[in-house]
Amino acid sequence: MNTARLRARVAASDPGLLRLAAGLRTVGAIALTLAVLGLLKADVPHLVAGAIAAMVATFAIREKQRAPQAVTLALGLPVALASMSLGALLSSRVVAGDLFFVVLIFCAVYGRRFGDRGTALGLIGFQVYFVSLFVGATVSGLPELYGVLGVAFLGSAAARFLLVPETPAGLLERLREAFRARLAQLVSAQLQLLEAGPEEIDEALKDVREGTARLHETALMIQGRLEEGTSDAAAARLVQRRVADAEIAAERLGLLLLSARSAQRADTLTLHLPGAPAPRAGRMAGRDEAIAQVRRDLEALRLLVLRPVAARSGTALSQVRNRLLGYREEENLPPAPPAVQDVFRGVGEAARAVLGLRIALDGPQDESDDSPATARSREELDAEDAVIDAGDEDAGTQEELTGLRRPTTRAAVQVAVGSSIAIVGGEFLSSQRWYWAVLTCWIVFMNTASTGEILVKGYRRLLGTVLGVLAGIVLAGAVGQHTWTAFALVLVLVFAMFYTAPLSYTLMSFFVTAALGLLYTLLHTYSLSVLVLRVEETALGAACGVIAAALVLPVRTDRRTNDLLVTVLERLAEVTEAAVDQLSGGSPVELLDQARDLDQALADLRAATQPLTHPITPLRARRDTARYVVALLETCAYHARSLAATAELLSTHPSIAADPRLRRAGRRIGDNIAAIAAHVADERSTDRVETGPSIASLLDTEVPGTPRFGRVTDRVLRHVQRLDETVVGLARPLRVPVAAPKR
């Protein structure tokens, strides 16, 4: 049990074990290279060159399939040999060497437009040229360096394909386990929210927010791997459907728990905006036995997520599953206040989603102990599976940008200009180690697209470098000239660098700088002045990157975030209009793919707003506005996902009926989204956001106390209402004029 719990925690903290595999694969490649070179009695400079080359050859390759990885690795070796040769030939020709370095940097960045292979080959070419400068490569020493590079690439191949192999199917399987683990963690956080007192609720709500965001992150990762990791399109679509169902059901359960704690229905924004006020009504209202039952059911739901029902009759877990699925029937709900009964319904829907997820991921389940409610849930799932369309969607065409408008061309020009400035400034600081400034300038441009992103990345690299210098001083003094002890510590630091890279760029820079301090020690060039120079060159390179980004074909953070915001709004409009049209009786279309496109666009916007929301930003009001807008968009995305998921069930569930009256509400929402997008794209736009009768008016009953619609239709209308309200709410922070309601 402890082992299973540990595995679940590891899977949840590192979805797909991507960070662990990257660290082990890189360390394995370096260790194999050092072992072979050690047996060949290579000297320390060659050991250092081999270690860095093996690291580069391993982390540069990003293709998902093994065959393309092997091709890129094979092509990378001649690129590395050519780069090393030119580095040695031009080492004594300062001007020619500097000019070639700038051209190489331009080509390496421009190569990104050719996909993962172009990016990898450009990275290998640049980094190996850097290695030639670092170890002082000469023409006479090229034969030995060729051998070192050959050993490094063989070591990288062995680590990638033998020691730490990775297949798309295996990675997808680990991501599925991570999704289940994170779903269980979210249920645990919701259980803590249920039990939290007035003083504890803020921390409990924070855990629920983080758990919801982490579950959503894993769902997006699964979406990106489905095509390569599944045997056919139908299987991929089935997994996509069940992951979406589980994600929506879990988020809805959290909202129902919040509503049950407060005197009124909880605002969805509470789950998406850090710092949003939590309900202060104390513990959940209701009879003690009902609250205790909710607590037991949440525990049972968590167990259902983590453990399959045993394939034998009469098991306690199958009985628990039957009880939870029974909550989908009104007659099985325990006596409790209406808000608490909604929680029981939410638990039942979450249990159904878990059952569907289990069937999709693990295959058919034992049905010998099914209750009537469980059997009905299975029939619904089977009906949904039967109508899954495995046909390929027509790919949308996008406008092809040309010339300097193309992002790769613009970035290549910016990096080339910034590197030229860094070379000149670096030469003034040190004629021997000027390349550190160029390396920093290059790195701050990687995976960035605006001046603000480059500024934040440069700041983080400088901070990590300063801290790493201090650590390098300590480590270098402790290791002295013990070569293999130093290399062992380098391996530890390299693993830490790759394991922490997706989490913190500052930490990654810290570990890289500490490792370099040890390499300097091995090359007998260690001194305090060298490490101080490293900080100076890093600061210079970061400054050159920011200057180039700000002055050469600049992309302001505001412009980039506005472009991405327009994209998010367009995706939101597409999903909402298609879902509402289908729920109004229109023709069925593919909705889940559109919903995931919305999620991806929103993730891109969230990343682009980091410079605006960074703690060091002096513009506090702007930071709060950016956070609020992103939270509103996440709220819109949740309701749009829910509508899309419900619309896809329309043909298989008799409880979900098309309602033509929704079409008018959907038209108003679409028009408002278009008005906001037009205003973001052009402030001179005269479009206005329209308001009108509340969607809740469709829920009015002719006879007080009697429901006019079934619970599913009621839920659809409430999602439409909340989406309408949230879209109108976007107008205020984005300064879009709101027209007076039409009478």
pLDDT single digits (tens) 162-217: 999 988 888 888 888 899 999 999 999 999 988 887 778 888 888 998 999 899 99
State residue 619 phi and psi, 5-degree precision. -90, 80
Question: What confidence tens digit (pLDDT) does each residue in 39-88 have?
Answer: 999 998 999 999 999 999 999 998 988 999 999 999 999 999 999 999 99
Nearest to 488 by CA among 4, 38, 91: 38
- Which of 434, 638, 640, 394 lies closest to 538, judged by CA? 434
pLDDT score recorded for residue 703: 42
Q: Using an 8 Å Cβ cutoff, are 738 and 691 in contact?
A: yes
Say what the pLDDT of residue 525 is: 65
pLDDT at 280 over 70: no
Q: Dump pLDDT digits (tens) for 706-735.
A: 444 445 566 778 888 889 889 999 988 988
pTM of the full structure: 0.84
> What are the backbone angles phi and psi of residue 689, rounded to the nearest 5°?
-85, 130
Q: How confident is the model at residue 491 (pLDDT cuts 50, 70, 90)?
A: very high
DSSP per-residue string spanning 676-741:
HHHHHH-TT----B---S-GGGGG--SSTTS-SS-HHHHHHHHHHHHHHHHHHHHHTTTT--BPPP
Q: Among 155, 173, 196, 182, which Cα is nearest to 47's?
A: 155
Q: Which residue has the tokens 């009786």?
A: 585
The secondary structure of the chain in percent helix, strand, coil, rounded to multiples of 5, reads 75, 0, 25
Q: What is the mean pLDDT of residues 478-505?
A: 87
Contacts with 446 (C-beta within 8 Å, 6 or more apart), sequence order: none
The residue behind tokens 């050719």 is 114
Residue type, position 725, single letter: E
Percent of the chain, pLDDT > 90? 29
Residues 723, 700: Cα–Cα separation, whole Å: 19
pLDDT band, very low/low/confident/very high, at 391 (cuts 50, 70, 90): very low
Query: What does the DSSP assignment read for 271-305?
Result: GTSTTPPPP-S-SPPS-HHHHHHHHHHHHHHHHHH
Question: Residue 383 and residue 698: Cα distance in Å, rounded?
Answer: 29
Mean of per-residue pLDDT scores for the chain: 83
